[in-house]
Chains A and B, each alone.
Chain A
Amino acid sequence: MLAQLLPSLTDGLLLGFVYGVAAMGLSLIWGVMTVINLSHGPVIALGMFATYLLFTHLGVNPYLALVAVAAFGMLLGFLIYGVAVHRVLNAPHLSTLLATFAVNMIIIGVGTAVFTTSPHNIDFPLGSWEIGPLTLPATRLVATLGAVVITGALYLFLYFTRPGKAIRAVANNRQAAELMGIPSARILALSFGLGTMLAAVSGGLIATFFPFTILSGGPYELKSFVICVLGGLGNPLGALLGGLLLGGLEGLIPTFMPVSWVPVVEFGLFVLVLLVRPSGLLGAK
Chain B
Amino acid sequence: MKRKSLFLIFGLAVLGLVLALFTQPSPSAAAETKTVVIAFTASQTGKLNVEGMRQINGLNLWVEQVNAAGGVKLPDGAAVKVAAKFYDDESKKERVQELYTKLISADKADFLISPYSSGLADAAAVIAQQYNKIMITAGAASDSTYKKGYTLIYQSYTPASRYLTGAIDLLAKLDPKAKKVAIVYEKDKFSTDVVNALKAYAEGKGYQVVLFEGYEPGATDFAPFINKIPAGVDAVMGGGHFVDTTTFAKQLYEKKVQTKMIALLVAPPEPKFAELGEACISVIGSSQWEPLANYTPELAKAAGLEWYGLSVADFTSAYKKKFNEEPSYHSAGGYVAGLILQKAMEKAGSADTAKVKAAIDAMDLMTFYGRLKFDTSPKAHGLQVGHDMVYIQWQKDAQGKPVKQVVWPEAGKTASAFVCPVR
Q: Could you list which residues of chain A lie within 8 angstroms of chain B, going by C-beta atoms?
A: 3-4, 7-8, 11-12, 15, 112, 116-119, 123, 125, 127-128, 130, 135, 137, 210-213, 216, 250-251, 254-255, 258-260, 262
Contact = CB atoms under 8 A, between A and B. Distances in A.
A128 B256 contact: yes
B227 A118 contact: no
A250 B247 CA distance: 19
Interface stretch (B209-217, B332-340, B392-400): B209-217
Contacts of A213: 47
B214 A260 contact: yes
A119 B45 contact: no
Nearest to A7: B227
Given A4-B228, A211-B243, 15 more contacts: A7-B227, A11-B223, A112-B45, A117-B46, A117-B47, A125-B277, A127-B254, A128-B255, A130-B256, A135-B255, A211-B220, A251-B224, A259-B215, A259-B224, A259-B225
B161 interface: no
Contacts of B216: 260
B92 to A, nearest CB: 9
B364 interface: no
B228 A137 contact: no
B218 to A, nearest CB: 9
B49 A137 contact: no
Nearest to A6: B227
B227 A119 contact: no
B145 interface: no
Interface in B214-238: 214-216, 220-221, 223-225, 227-228, 231
A255 B220 CA distance: 19
30 contacts: A4-B228, A11-B227, A112-B45, A116-B44, A116-B45, A116-B49, A117-B46, A117-B91, A118-B47, A118-B49, A119-B47, A125-B254, A125-B277, A127-B254, A128-B256, A135-B256, A137-B254, A137-B255, A210-B247, A211-B247, A212-B220, A213-B47, A216-B220, A254-B228, A258-B213, A259-B213, A259-B215, A259-B224, A259-B225, A260-B214
A254 B45 contact: no
Nearest to B213: A258
Contact of B227 (A8, A123, A137): A8
A108 to B, nearest CB: 13
A255 B224 CA distance: 8
B224 A8 contact: yes
A125 B216 CA distance: 25
Contacts of B223: 8, 11, 15
B180 to A, nearest CB: 15
Contacts of B49: 116, 118
Contacts of B76: none
Interface string B299-333: 00000000000000000000000000000000000
Contacts of B187: 260
B90 interface: yes
A117 B227 contact: no
A150 to B, nearest CB: 21
Given A117-B91, A128-B255, A135-B255, A254 B46 contact: no
Given A3-B231, A128-B254, A130-B256, A254 B247 contact: no
A164 B351 CA distance: 74
B45 A117 contact: yes
B45 A262 contact: no
Contacts of A262: 224
Contacts of A4: 227-228
Interface string B21-61: 00000000000000000000000111101100000000000
Nearest to A126: B254
Contacts of B224: 8, 11-12, 250-251, 254, 259, 262
Contacts of A3: 231
Which 8 residue pairs are nearest across A and B when measured between Cβ atoms?
A116-B45, A210-B220, A254-B224, A137-B254, A11-B223, A8-B227, A118-B49, A119-B243
B227 to A, nearest CB: 4
A3 B233 CA distance: 14
Q: Counting chain B CB atoms within 10 Å of each CB, which of A15, A125, A130, A259 scores highest?
A: A259
B74 to A, nearest CB: 40
Contacts of B91: 117
Interface in B70-128: 90-91
Nearest to B214: A260
A11 B254 CA distance: 12
Contacts of B45: 112, 116-118
A277 B216 CA distance: 31
B90 A117 contact: yes
B209 to A, nearest CB: 15
Nearest to A5: B227
Contacts of A116: 44-46, 49
Contacts of B275: 123
B345 to A, nearest CB: 34
Contacts of A259: 213, 215, 224-225, 228
A112 B243 CA distance: 18
A118 B46 contact: yes
A8 B226 CA distance: 9
Contacts of A117: 45-47, 90-91
Contacts of A258: 213
A125 B279 CA distance: 11
Contacts of A11: 223-224, 227
Contacts of B256: 128, 130, 135
A116 B251 CA distance: 25
Nearest to B187: A260
- Among A15, A112, A119, A254, the one with the most B-chain Cβ atoms within 10 Å of its Cβ is A119
Contacts of B220: 210-212, 216
A119 B45 CA distance: 9
A3 B229 CA distance: 11
Interface string B237-273: 0000001000100010011100000000000000000
